[in-house]
Amino acid sequence: MRVEIVAVGTELLLGQIADTNSAWMGEQLAAAGIDSHFHQAVGDNQARIVLALRTALARGDAVIVCGGLGPTQDDITREAIAEVMNVALHRDEVIAARIAAFFGDRQREMTENNLRQADVPEGAIAIDQVQGTAPGLICPLGAKVLYAVPGVPHEMAEMFERGILPDLRRRSAEAGEEAVIVSRVLRTWGTSESALAAALQDRFELLDRPAAGPGTVTIAFLASGIEGIKVRLTARAGNGSEVTKLLDAEEQEVRRVLAERLGDIVFGLDDTSMEQAVADLVVEQRLTLGLAESMTGGLIASRLVSVPGASTWFRGAVVSYASEVKFSLLGVAPGPVVAATAAEQMAEGARRVLGADVALAITGVAGPDEQDGQPVGTVFVALALPERPVDVREIHLPGDRERIRQYSTISALDVLRRALLERAGSGRAG
């Protein structure tokens, strides 16, 4: 079964809203093991909707068209489907009565336009409207099928699950295809996409060979800008437990290879953020944390505070943006503030004034101009861990002002993460 999603709405083409409906349905189809090779978006124009539907039917077995089922004059998906099916529309009196009752219950006036939603192409089956006034449609076209759902996200989702997915599953089972597809994402920071690809070259080649077993795994990379690079493992097999087994084995192997060749670059799985990874280590080691931020201006603090439960371990931050605040509040010695010494003294000052076990400090040049003789992109990160001298790193980052600040934020958190990992390791060794 190859299913194509066609989203209808001029607002999608104009970029006034992002097409989250297609993304959501794509995710549901993948989870059900049903292939979806193409998505289309098209405006509120009958000739073009017809062309999009014909294109989709020609290259797939099923089409889900989403949107354009409302009551107003620009909702013309029903008419376009009737044209594709080469049939007329007829008014379904059961649906019409239900629409009238919807307005009656709410003591709202119904216009003649509203009854357009009761028009159904000959030969199509309506999917009852539960939440709104627009019914969905199941339209058989020979061995193929065309489904229509409203574009309102919660109506679409409810109708997809109740009326479409079961029908697709039935057709898929009749065609003898039943597979489960699940993805798992390893989140990495501190390397490039090409270095990852080179490190995992052997895995690619291995996975490209005809599968020995009953399932398959594929690897893909997703560059996620300031959030690092994601390594996505996707497994396909006959059932959920086979998929989990495949993913577990591949994850273990990928982690082993990456650790061996590129170090501690994997900071989490799936939706785990860098701040969550840091928080887990801080909590595990029963520490409290304080920050001194200059160029990042509170970004590191705001990310840490977004972790639920942060109040048990996060003390706070001094955003010492002006140099005098660094001197007076953190006790930095007057002099250049984009410097290793300044970062070191910021960390010591933050640990002291915030009463924290661990302090992370950052100072640097986000641009547009250089500062203290340091070029744009120069960043000093200092880390004060218990019972150790303050450790300072110099980092050079590319990009404009905003990107440098964002990269600095995650780079500083990664410095803390790796140091805490190492501390846990040496603690265990001792």
Q: How many CB atoms neighbour CB 72 within 10 A?
A: 12
Tell me: does residue 90 bind a copy of itself (CB under 8 A): no
**Nearer CB in complex with a copy of itself: 400/422:** 400
How crowded is the C-beta side of 287, counted as CA atoms within 13 Å?
24
Kindly give, in sequence order, each residue whose CB lies less than 8 Å from that of residue 69, ignoring residues fewer than 6 positions away. Answer: 75, 77, 78, 117, 134, 135, 136, 148, 149, 150, 151
- Find the helix or strand (DSSP H, E) in which 146 lies: strand 144-149
What mask of x and - would describe binding to a copy of itself in positions 30 to 49, judged by CB under 8 A? x-----xxxxxxxxxx--x-
Tell me: does residue 195 bind a copy of itself (CB under 8 A): yes
We find the least distance from the C-beta atom of residue 71 to a copy of itself, in angstroms, to be: 5
Interacting positions 285-304 with a copy of itself (CB under 8 A): 291, 293, 295-302, 304
* Binding residue (CB under 8 A) for a copy of itself from 86, 239, 241, 306: 306
We find the least distance from the C-beta atom of residue 11 to a copy of itself, in angstroms, to be: 6
Contact indicator for 121, 38 with CB cutoff of 8 Å: no
Stretch that binds a copy of itself, among 89-97, 348-356, 383-391, 422-430 (CB under 8 A): 348-356
Pairing type for strands 144-149 and 136-141 reads: antiparallel
**Nearer CB in complex with a copy of itself: 63/295:** 295
Tell me: does residue 334 bind a copy of itself (CB under 8 A): no
We find the least distance from the C-beta atom of residue 252 to a copy of itself, in angstroms, to be: 22
Which amino acid is located at 8 in the chain? V
CA R_g for the chain? 28
Tell me: does residue 327 bind a copy of itself (CB under 8 A): no
We find the least distance from the C-beta atom of residue 413 to a copy of itself, in angstroms, to be: 13
Interacting positions 92-151 with a copy of itself (CB under 8 A): 106, 108-111, 113-114
CA–CA separation, 94 and 128 (whole Å) = 10
* Binding residue (CB under 8 A) for a copy of itself from 96, 141, 340, 353: 353
Q: Residue written as tokens 């780079």?
A: 411
CA–CA separation, 306 and 294 (whole Å) = 20
Q: How far is CA 382 from CA 103, 350, 417, in A?
A: 64, 11, 13
We find the least distance from the C-beta atom of residue 429 to a copy of itself, in angstroms, to be: 31
